[in-house]
Structure 1
Amino acid sequence: MTPSSGADPRLVASIRELLAARDAGKTICPSEAARAVGGEKWRDLMQPARDAARELVDLGEVEVTQKGEVVDVTTARGPVRIRRTG
């Protein structure tokens, strides 16, 4: 599926690619996607990376966790992790 919102398609693709390269159940940090897309300017992409994660949550592809518990990435404060669903 393709993103339907304003999520940056490069970040959506990066999250998908990073998760595909991990073993099932393993997580990534949104900063990994931001670094892959933004290089040295990755910090500017942290909120867009979280937005991309939200898009993938809405598509049912991923869950966002904090301290092992599923959270809403739009309201979670602090570090979060992204994992594939299922």
Structure 2
Amino acid sequence: MGGVDRTDRALEASILALLDARDHGRTICPSEAARAVAADLGRDDWRALMDAARRAAGRLVTAGRVVVTQRGEPVDPLTASGPIRVGHAR
């Protein structure tokens, strides 16, 4: 199993930066971080970063920095199927 690389760290940083730019209590979609990092890397294939964005959100959940929800309920971003939202941990 591979370690955490620069793209993974960039996704974590992007998630936190996007949340910091939002009003308190607002959430983001992991695709927003994937799009931002893909653009920073000069890539058009942001969808290829979606699994990595969910893993980044999972690491941030483990670190107590964010909460991931689906339909308003906390979920594991690695096992949830369908759209999820990421917000600051309280």
The alignment status of 1:59 with 2:63, answered yes or no, reads: yes
Letter in 2 for 1:13: A
Q: Distance in 1 between matches of 2:80 and 2:17?
A: 24
* Unaligned runs of at least 5 residues, structure 2: none
How many aligned residue pairs are there? 82
TM-score, normalisation: structure 2: 0.87
Q: Partner of 1:49 in structure 2?
A: 53
The alignment status of 1:71 with 2:69, answered yes or no, reads: no
The alignment status of 1:6 with 2:4, answered yes or no, reads: yes
Identity level (%)? 56
Letter in 2 for 1:73: P
* Unaligned runs of at least 5 residues, structure 1: none
TM-score, normalisation: structure 1: 0.91
1:58-80: CA deviations, max 9, x gaps? 10000000011111111100110
Cα deviation for residue 53 of structure 1 reads: 0.1
Q: Distance in 2 between matches of 1:48 and 1:56?
A: 12
- Larger Rg: 1 or 2? 2
Runs of 4+ in 1 over 2 A off after TM superposition: none
Letter in 2 for 1:21: A
